[in-house]
């Protein structure tokens, strides 16, 4: 294990051109599927709610496309182990299920039960709502992922403290609760961009109220698999003396999460054009 030379360790990693092309094709294919799938489902469901099968198919198709992407990356110069790639698919699948199945299900559930609030911000039927919410939620995802990356780097250099999986999950839940408090403060106008923060805060409230427990379970599963993926990759990096493997695992995950959020915005904007939410303005 690296110790005294830890400060000189280089974790630099660059995506090969072929891998960049694979990510581009993944983004284009996913965006096309998520734009067209709702249009093929317009005759199903009820007048104001898409069929649940639409969300289920969207989640499964994104998981399938992600599996194809990761398979291509292993042939494009990404030298991660098979188990690391399997764990990447595992946490990516959990995130995809949250973003493309549970998230819209929760929003439409709240919409039909009482409506989505338009309160001092942007309407849930406005694309800007999803751009703002998507940006803030993406930053929350990346914050968690970056913390795991930093821990993996410290483990490689011998500076990391051993933390149990339970301890990591508790720390992440605490961080998420803190982030929600920050969003609430932003929503009250204490930060510079209350509109984006307000959209994210409203979105989280709708999801928690609609499908909170399944979302929490999926995110905990994603955290556990991502942590195991970092642990697997770090062990390989230590045994082979290739710290760049840790960075490779991080950048592959970051790119997937970023593309998921971009495609989620596209998916939600398509949905509200065909099935607008029931909204109300509180007095």
Return the pLDDT at 5.
42
In this structure, is residue 5 part of a structural domain? no
Q: Are the C-beta atoms of residues 94 and 218 closer than 8 Å to each other?
A: yes
| Best CA proximity match to 107, nearest among 248, 281, 279 | 279
Task: Please count the CA atoms within 13 angstroms of the CA of 178 that sit on its side-chain side.
Answer: 9
Signed CA dihedral, 113, 117, 123, 129: sign only: negative
The model's confidence at residue 212, banded by pLDDT at 50, 70 and 90, is confident
Q: Reduced to 3 states, what is the DSSP secondary structure of residue 117?
A: strand
Return the pLDDT at 53.
92
Hey, how many other C-beta atoms are within 10 angstroms of the C-beta on 79?
Answer: 13
| Best CA proximity match to 211, nearest among 55, 89, 24 | 55
In this structure, is residue 210 part of a structural domain? yes
Average pLDDT value for the chain = 82
Return the pLDDT at 184.
52
Tell me the C-alpha distance between 228 and 215, whole Å: 20
In this structure, is residue 31 part of a structural domain? yes
pLDDT at 185 over 70: no
Hey, how many other C-beta atoms are within 10 angstroms of the C-beta on 3?
Answer: 8
Query: Given the structure tokens 């005294």, which residue do they identify?
Result: 4
Span 108-126, average pLDDT: 80
Span 51-57, average pLDDT: 93
Return the pLDDT at 116.
81
In this structure, is residue 10 part of a structural domain? no
Span 124-143, average pLDDT: 87
Span 173-190, average pLDDT: 53
Return the pLDDT at 26.
97
In this structure, is residue 84 part of a structural domain? yes
Q: Reduced to 3 states, what is the DSSP secondary structure of residue 264?
A: helix
Tell me the C-alpha distance between 42 and 271, whole Å: 10
Max CA-CA distance within the chain? 66
Higher pLDDT, 228 or 129: 228
Return the pLDDT at 121.
61
Task: Please count the CA atoms within 13 angstroms of the CA of 108 that sit on its side-chain side.
Answer: 22
| Best CA proximity match to 140, nearest among 177, 165, 169, 184 | 177
Return the pLDDT at 182.
52
Encode pLDDT of 220-263 as tens digits: 899 999 999 999 999 999 988 888 899 999 999 999 999 999 99
Q: How far apart are the first and last CA of the chain?
A: 62
| % residues pLDDT > 70 (the chain) | 77
In this structure, is residue 133 part of a structural domain? yes
Domain that holds residue 216: 15-278
pLDDT at 63 over 50: yes
Most confident of 2-6, 100-104, 133-137: 100-104
In this structure, is residue 2 part of a structural domain? no
Sequence-ordered list of residues with C-beta below 8 angstroms from that of 69, at least 6 positions apart, any chain = 22, 23, 26, 256
Return the pLDDT at 191.
44
Tell me the C-alpha distance between 68 and 89, whole Å: 10
Tokens of 79: 């030298």
Encode pLDDT of 146-175 as tens digits: 989 998 988 888 754 555 555 656 665 665
Tally of domains within the chain: 1
In this structure, is residue 261 part of a structural domain? yes
């Amino acid at each position: 294990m690296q110790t005294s030379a830890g400060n000189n360790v280089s974790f630099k990693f660059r995506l090969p051109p072929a891998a960049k092309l694979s990510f581009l094709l993944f983004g284009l294919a996913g965006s096309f599927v998520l734009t067209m799938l709702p249009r093929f489902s317009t005759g199903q469901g009820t007048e104001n709610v898409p069929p649940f099968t639409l969300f289920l198919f969207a989640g499964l198709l994104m998981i399938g496309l992600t599996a194809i992407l990761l398979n291509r990356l292993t042939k494009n110069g990404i030298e991660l182990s098979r188990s690391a790639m399997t764990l990447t698919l595992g946490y990516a699948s959990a995130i995809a299920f949250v973003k493309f199945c549970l998230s819209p299900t929760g929003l439409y559930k709240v919409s039909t039960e009482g409506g989505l609030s338009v309160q001092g911000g942007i309407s849930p039927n406005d694309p800007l709502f999803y751009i703002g919410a998507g940006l803030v939620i993406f930053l929350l995802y990346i914050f968690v992922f970056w913390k795991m990356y930093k821990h993996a780097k410290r483990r490689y250099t011998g500076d990391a403290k051993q933390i149990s999986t339970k301890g990591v999950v508790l720390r992440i839940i605490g961080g998420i609760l803190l982030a929600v408090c920050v969003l609430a403060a932003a929503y009250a106008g204490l930060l510079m961009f209350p509109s984006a923060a307000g959209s994210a805060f409203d979105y989280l409230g709708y999801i928690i109220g609609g499908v909170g427990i399944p979302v929490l379970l999926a995110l905990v599963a994603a955290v556990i698999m991502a942590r195991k993926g970092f642990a697997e990759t770090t062990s390989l990096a230590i045994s082979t003396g290739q710290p760049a493997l840790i960075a490779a695992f991080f950048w592959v995950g970051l790119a997937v999460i970023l593309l998921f959020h971009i495609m989620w915005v596209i998916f939600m904007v398509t949905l509200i054009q065909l099935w607008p939410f029931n909204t109300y303005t509180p007095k």
